[in-house]
Amino acid sequence: MLNAPSQSFPTPGSQQRVASGGRSKVPLKQGRSLMDWIRLTKSGKDLTGLKGRLIEVTEEELRKHNRKDDCWICIRGLVYNVSPYMEYHPGGEEELMRAAGSDGTDLFDQVHRWVNYESMLKECLVGRMAVKPVVPRDCREEKKILNGLVSRSQAADAPATEGPRPPSYDWFQTDSSVTIAIYTKQKDISLDSIIIDNQDDSFRAETIIQDYSYLIHIRLSHEVQEDVSARIVENVGKIEIVLKKKENTSWKCLGHPLENHNSFIPRKDVGLHYRECQLISKEDVTHDTKLFCLKLPPSSHLQTPVGQHVYLKLTVTGAEIVKPYTPVSDSLFSEFKEPVLPNKQYMYFLIKIYPAGLFTPELDHLQIGDFVPISSPEGNFKISKFQELEDLFLLAAGTGLTPMVTILNFALTRVRSLRKVKLMFFNKTEDDIIWRSQLEKLAFKDKRFDVEFVLSAPTSEWTGKQGHISPALLSEFLKRNLDESKVFICICGPTPFTEQGVRLLHDLNFSKDEIHSFTA
pLDDT grade, residue 226 (50/70/90)?
very high
**pLDDT value for 519:** 66
Residue 337 has a pLDDT of 53
pTM of the model: 0.78
**Looking at residue 261, what is its pLDDT?**
95
User: Are residues 501 and 387 both part of a single domain?
Assistant: yes
Q: How confident is the model at residue 131 (pLDDT cuts 50, 70, 90)?
A: low
201-217 mean pLDDT: 94
Q: DSSP letter for 36, please.
A: H
Residue 11: inside a domain:
no
Dihedral sign from CA coordinates of 61, 66, 69, 72: positive
Question: Is the CB of residue 400 less than 8 Å from the CB of residue 518?
Answer: yes
| Higher-scoring residue by pLDDT: 81, 186 | 81
CA 484 – CA 336 distance, rounded (Å):
29
Considering the domain architecture, whether residues 448 and 502 belong to the same structural domain is answered as yes
At residue 329, the pLDDT reads 87
Which pLDDT does position 24 carry in this prediction?
55
Q: Who wins on pLDDT, 407 or 318?
A: 407
Residue 515 confidence (pLDDT): 96
Q: Examine the pLDDT at 374 and tell me if it is beyond 80.
A: yes
What CATH code is carried by the domain that includes residue 236? Answer: 2.60.40.790
Whether 15 maps to a domain, the answer reads no
Residues 388 and 473 in one domain: yes
The model's confidence at residue 342, banded by pLDDT at 50, 70 and 90, is very low
Least confident of 109-123, 193-207, 355-369: 109-123
What range defines the domain where residue 325 resides? 274-378
> 463 in a domain, yes or no?
yes
Regarding whether 508 and 390 lie in a shared domain, the answer is yes
pLDDT value at position 478?
95
Q: Is residue 206 part of a domain?
A: yes
| 96 found inside a domain | yes
Which of 108, 19, 113 lies closest to 520, judged by CA? Answer: 19
For the chain, give the percent of residues with pLDDT over 90: 63
Least confident segment among 150-154, 262-266, 378-382: 150-154
On whether residue 134 sits in a domain, the answer given is no
**Do residues 128 and 77 touch, judged by C-beta distance below 8 A?**
yes
Identify which of 88-92, 181-185, 424-428 has the greatest average pLDDT.
Answer: 424-428
Question: Rounded to whole angstroms, what are the CA distances from 449 to 120, 215, 392, 458, 493?
Answer: 44, 40, 10, 24, 21
Q: State residue 26's pLDDT score.
A: 65
Co-location of 417 and 322 in the same domain: no
Same domain assignment for residues 265 and 182: yes
Let me know whether 222 and 346 are in one domain: no
**Residue 3 clears pLDDT 50, i.e. is over it:** no
Task: State how many domains the chain has.
Answer: 4
Helical segments of 113-198, H only = 117-120
The mean per-residue pLDDT over the stretch 253-267 comes to: 93
pLDDT of the residue at 113: 64
Same domain, 290 and 358: yes
Q: Does residue 387 fall inside a structural domain?
A: yes
Q: What is the pLDDT of residue 25?
A: 63
Distances (CA, A) of 386 to 54, 85, 260: 52, 43, 35
CATH code: domain of residue 507: 3.40.50.80
**Domain CATH number, residue 74:** 3.10.120.10
pLDDT of residue 209: 93
Of the three residues 129, 151, 181, the one that is the final residue of a domain is: 129
Peptide bond into 84 cis (omega under 30): no
For residues 312 and 323, the answer to whether their CB atoms sit within 8 Å is yes
Q: Supply the CATH number for residue 331's domain.
A: 2.40.30.10
Report the mean per-residue pLDDT for the chain.
Answer: 86
Indicate whether 341 pLDDT > 70: no
What is the spatial distance between Cα 39 and Cα 27, in angstroms, rounded to a whole number? 20
Predicted local distance difference test score (pLDDT) of residue 234: 74
Indicate if 213 and 240 belong to the same structural domain.
yes
Mean pLDDT of 29-38: 85
Q: Which residue among 345, 378, 411 closes a domain?
A: 378
**Are 211 and 303 in the same domain?**
no
Of the candidates 247, 269, 291, which is a domain's last residue? 269
Residues 506 and 396 in one domain: yes
Look at 121-125, 401-405, 447-451, 473-477 and tell me which has the smallest mean pLDDT.
Answer: 121-125
Q: What is the pLDDT of residues 138-163, one digit of tens each?
A: 444 444 333 333 434 445 444 445 67
Please check whether residue 402 lies inside any domain of the structure: yes
19, β-bridge pairs: 519
Which pLDDT score is estimated for 520?
Answer: 54
**Rounded CA separation 369/351 (Å):** 18
Q: Is residue 393 located within the same domain as residue 499?
A: yes
- Residue 221 predicted with pLDDT over 90: yes
Instruction: Give the number of residues written for the chain.
Output: 520
> Which of the two residues, 325 and 162, has the higher pLDDT score?
325
pLDDT at 31: 84
